Structure formats: structure tokens, C-alpha cells
Chains A and B, each alone.
Chain A
Amino acid sequence: MDARTESESTPTSSRTSVERKSEREIIVRRTFDGPARLVFDAWTEPELLKRWWVPKSMGMTFLACEADVRVGGKYRFEFLHPSAAKPMAFFGKYLEVVPHSRLVWTNEESNDGAVTTVTFEEKNGKTLLVVHEVYPSKEALDANGGMENAMPETFSQLDELLVDLRSRE
């Protein structure tokens, strides 16, 4: 992605925008009101990551959050959903770590896992965050997008809600 594309991304009514860039790629953007180093810390310090990665609305408990944020270092996140018998684990390793600017990691919990690139672009004290996920195939993105495989109950509820909301429009 080049800088031009970033700045041209159109703001939507919500602060989070999602673009399906290609059959295998999806891009999420949001601007945070803080310098890149703080936003980066929130992505790389397990104690901080734990506080936001699983939003409260998902109703899940973060059991373990380990992140050895350096090139080749591993991470492992474990959550428990009340309706699931066993915790779910997400793991992989960091491929690139550029402090306050760029993180790349693999998602190895399945063969269909994406390679995730996160960039932090600071401007006037705010940080444009871009999450870029590249899946091995179109089917993998269709199936894994939004982690719905991992959290079927939650997302089917969300589905229903969305259908309700859309029918009201």
C-alpha cells in the first residue's frame, strides 16, 4: 500500500472503514487520537493488548495473552466463550517488527490463516492505523473474515441484529 491510497481512503460515517481490496485481501482503517508510539504499545504489550483485543461485547474472557514482539518471536492468545467447552487459541509469529511503525505476523491456528500487516502512521499527534490481512485464498477470506468460524454463536447473533437493522433502513 502506498501513502497516496491511505490519504485517499474516504471517511465513512463510522470511524472504522473496511475495504475488500481483492479476493484475498481485506483492509481495515481507523485513526486514533494519540501518537503512534502509544498506539503501537497497545498492540505490543500483552497487558494492554488484553484490554481491547476482545471487546466486552463479545462476552469472552481472555485467558492468556503472550506476545514476544520481535522478529521470529511468537504470540499466543487464548479466549473462552461461555458457550464453548474449550478455550480457543490463536497463535503465530512476528515476521516484521518496526517500532512505532509496522508489525507483520502470521496466523497459524489454521491452514487458512492470514498474514497480517499493521502500519501506524502519525500525523499531527493522531495515528492512522491500517490493518491489512492477506489470506492464502479467496475461500479462506470468505470463511475466516471476521473470525466467524472461531465465534459462531456471537456472530450469528450479530447476523440477526444486522438483518433487523437493515430491514429497518
Chain B
Amino acid sequence: MVQYTSASFDASFAAISDATRRGVLEQLGRADASISDLAEKFNMTLTGMKKHIAVLEQVGLVATEKFGRVRTCRLGVRRLEDEAAWIERYRQIWDARFDELDRVVEELKRQEKTNGRKNRK
């Protein structure tokens, strides 16, 4: 399973809070590109673009691979929705469990009312 954490969820938001990085994601959504392609397209030094790519790569939004001397970038496997889905799945399990617990608590309350607390067990 790919790793999803809320700490990295925050990091993902931080990663896309930058206009250049959003532009890079948009660009990579159309086609893979090398870091130098991207640097040129965004009018930026190679070092500057490398830093942006490193931020995106760290949160899994971009994956890079080196072919010879060229590092090619593409969209990473991670999507922001995955984070929310992970939490939601976890929540649904507990929610279902707690719906049943609600019923048990209701019943215990009724029993207590009828029998008095000391006689329940």
C-alpha cells in the first residue's frame, strides 16, 4: 500500500501552494518532461527547477527517473484524494462499529431503568 499520512497530506498541500509547482503538475499532466525542459518552460534556472521537483517528488506528486544524463519527470502515483479516502475508510469502520455500540448502550440504559443499577448483571 502506498503510504498516506496526514502529515504528508499537509506537505502535499504545501507542495501545491506554489504557483510554479502547480504549473509543473499541469504540464506533466499533459506530457512527461525533463527538468531542463521544465526549467526552460518556466523561465527558471536548472537549480531552481530541481528544488521545485524535489518538493513535489517528496510528497509523491511527481516521480523522476534518470535515463543517461537526463532526469525525466512524470506525475507521481499519489493523488491527494487518496489521503482523504484512507481516513474515510478508517472512519467508516469505526462508525459502523459505534452504531452497534450505540444500540448496546441504549439497551443497557433501558435495563438499568427497569431493574435498577445493582441488579443488571
Contact = CB atoms under 8 A, between A and B. Distances in A.
Given A138-B5, A142-B1, A57 B96 contact: yes
Interface of B is mostly: helix
Interface stretch (B42-50, B70-78, B102-110): B102-110
Most buried by B among A38, A57, A159: A38
A5 interface: no
A17 B100 CA distance: 16
B90 A26 contact: yes
Most buried by B among A18, A26, A143: A18
A94 B57 CA distance: 42
Interface residues of A, number: 46
A142 B95 contact: no
Contacts, number: 107
Interface in A146-165: 146-148, 155, 158-159, 162-163
Interface in A118-153: 129, 131, 138-139, 141-143, 145-148
A15 B95 contact: yes
Interface of A: 14-23, 26, 28, 30, 32-34, 38-39, 41-42, 48, 51-58, 129, 131, 138-139, 141-143, 145-148, 155, 158-159, 162-163, 166
8 shortest A-B CB distances, which residue pairs? A20-B6, A52-B100, A55-B96, A16-B95, A34-B105, A146-B90, A18-B91, A52-B101
